[in-house]
Structure 1
Amino acid sequence: MDSLKNLKVFVVGWTGACGDALSLEIAKRKLFKEVMLVGRRRVELTGDDPRSKFEQVVVDFEDLEKSAESFKGCSVGYVTMGSTRQSGASNFVKVDYDYTMAVAKLANEVGCKQLHYVSAVGANKDSCFLYPKTKGKVEHEMAELGFEQVFIYRPALLIRPGKERVVERISYYIIKPVTAFKPTWNQIEAENVAKSIIAKSTEFDQGKKREILSNSQMHEAAQSLA
């Protein structure tokens, strides 16, 4: 991972489940020279939080260009933000498409080389349903922007011990008998999502890549991380 030591990176959506796990993993491993945590508000971190030394950048996603200067110099970008369909169709599209693509486009403009995007299982730009269609559109359009490397992750049911939403908790217990025999089938812990992302980040200097990781492939990538 020595090739990452001199890089500046950003994490958008770092207060969500995957972003939280990812930013913590980055901090614990001391992977990068400079880490920028991007969000709509500043979060007070205690002194024992390993991320307390990271720079926090507060942005207006409706006018992201105003924050372009902060993104300059970032070689790697992590986009982990997302809403839910339950938040309403318009809000979901605004966050998961408008804001997400605004980040990707700005990152590309300032010369970011490697972009990581946490999508979802079933993403399909041609779907008749809003959620998978929106995720699929983002995947497709990100890959077309011209980044040297784009890694897309499609987690299934996200497990975040102690922090699950009610629906997630119910779903977990419904599929538990199956996952007991095949843990990688239809669930993944947020920590393993983070580890799979870091595992792929180490391919920074390995030429052009466009890769979509399924839930099982994310498990494999996480296991490969020392």
Structure 2
Amino acid sequence: MINVSISSTFILHPYAETIKRLFITAILSSPSFGERNSLNLFFTDFNKFECENHPLSFLINPIWLPKNMSGKVSAFIVGATGQVGKAISKELAKTDSVDRVTLFTRRQIDPSQGDTENDYSKFTVKVVDYEKLEENHTKDFEGFDVGYTAIGLIGTQSIEEKTKVDHDYLLEAAKLAKAGGCNNLNVVTGGSSKDSPFFYMRNKWVIEQDVSALGYERVTFYRPGLLLGGNRENLPLAYKLSSPIVNFLDRGRFLSLDVPALAKVMVHNSLQPAKAAVEFLENREIHKQGIKLANTNNNNK
């Protein structure tokens, strides 16, 4: 159920909840939103992100008060220097509805990270100590609408180190962002299985469970296969050698995924109305959505 701000008249009225639901139902089922079943919507919990971003949201005041009256969105990226993080940054740079982006990194970087095609003036780089996030950086995670996490190790690091980076750092950042007001989190995981013999897949399953338990109003997990076409120099040799082979053999992208497509789908999907409080997008579905978005962009040029 969404939290709404209503006037004293509505608070004192004995039928305040019914009146509130009827009014918001009428707005969300309006033609500007799209075809909806008003009866079903009335008996369904409203989606906060959906209400805030509805084109008629201003009519819901004082029943519903958008957090950002300008309609613009603030975002952060954890794992901004990896191949997926760089691609997400590039997509956000091209997205007009996002007017503030913070990159959380371990070291100072140029926010463009070599991209000379887009404007990164709305970007800020915040250097953080992931070992002391709660101690030193609680306020740095306040005030965001949307978050993206693409943090993780690829290589021969120990299980302890991979757990610390992939799980612990991510979870701590997600906790701080939630406490700071963010309620739309997008997380790159990958192959996930509770009973897998492989640590990587078991760890991803634990990540999904623990992040889901934080109580975000909306969290989406993206499960790509082998990532291809990313901009990252320090990939393991085995990864570099296998990528061209997989790229050739898996043309339909059943087991692999192009990094730019993943980033495009993540940004686009995060700014659309949610289908559920917790969503999982598998490799093949991300690929198909990426093709549709690419075709739409080409047709609009």
Question: TM-score by structure 2 length?
Answer: 0.67
Mapped to 1, the partners of 2:174 and 2:98 lie a distance apart of: 20
Cross-structure match for 1:77:
147
2:163 to 93, 105, 114: 93
Of stretches 60-69 and 146-155 in structure 1, the one that deviates more from structure 2 is 60-69
1:110 is displaced (CA, Å) by 1.4
Cross-structure match for 2:80:
14
1:85 is displaced (CA, Å) by 4.7
The superposition leaves residues 125-179 of structure 1 with CA deviations (integer Å, 9 ceiling, x where unpaired) of 3333221111110011111111011100111111025747332233234334532
Cross-structure match for 2:127:
58
The superposition leaves residues 81-118 of structure 1 with CA deviations (integer Å, 9 ceiling, x where unpaired) of 11125122221111001101111111121121110000
Mapped to 2, the partners of 1:73 and 1:162 lie a distance apart of: 29
Cross-structure match for 1:211:
279
Mapped to 2, the partners of 1:208 and 1:175 lie a distance apart of: 33
Question: Is residue 136 from structure 1 mapped to residue 199 from structure 2 by the alignment?
Answer: no
User: Helix, strand or coil for the counterpart of 2:86?
Assistant: helix
Cross-structure match for 1:150:
219
Question: Is residue 30 from structure 1 mapped to residue 96 from structure 2 by the alignment?
Answer: yes
RMSD: 2.3
1:34 is displaced (CA, Å) by 1.1
Cross-structure match for 1:105:
175
| 1:23 partner letter | S
- Contact 2:83-2:231 at 8 Å conserved across structures: no
Of stretches 85-94 and 71-80 in structure 1, the one that deviates more from structure 2 is 85-94
1:43 is displaced (CA, Å) by 0.4
Cross-structure match for 2:289:
221
1:184 to 232, 253, 269: 253
- Contact 1:14-1:37 at 8 Å conserved across structures: yes
Of stretches 44-53 and 62-71 in structure 1, the one that deviates more from structure 2 is 44-53
- Identity, in percent, stands at 32
Taking the TM superposition and a 5 Å limit, the aligned residue runs for 1:36-51 are 36-45=102-111, 48=116, 50-51=119-120
- Contact 2:86-2:231 at 8 Å conserved across structures: no
Give the greater-gyration-radius structure (CA).
2
Mapped to 2, the partners of 1:220 and 1:91 lie a distance apart of: 34
Change (3 A) 1:106 1:126: farther
Cross-structure match for 1:167:
238
Question: TM-score by structure 1 length?
Answer: 0.88
- Contact 1:35-1:54 at 8 Å conserved across structures: yes
Change (3 A) 1:222 1:211: same
| 2:182 partner letter | C
Mapped to 2, the partners of 1:19 and 1:147 lie a distance apart of: 21
- Contact 1:192-1:219 at 8 Å conserved across structures: yes
Mapped to 2, the partners of 1:222 and 1:8 lie a distance apart of: 23
| 2:79 partner letter | G
Structure 1 unmatched ranges of 5 or more? none
| 1:38 partner letter | F
Cross-structure match for 2:190:
120
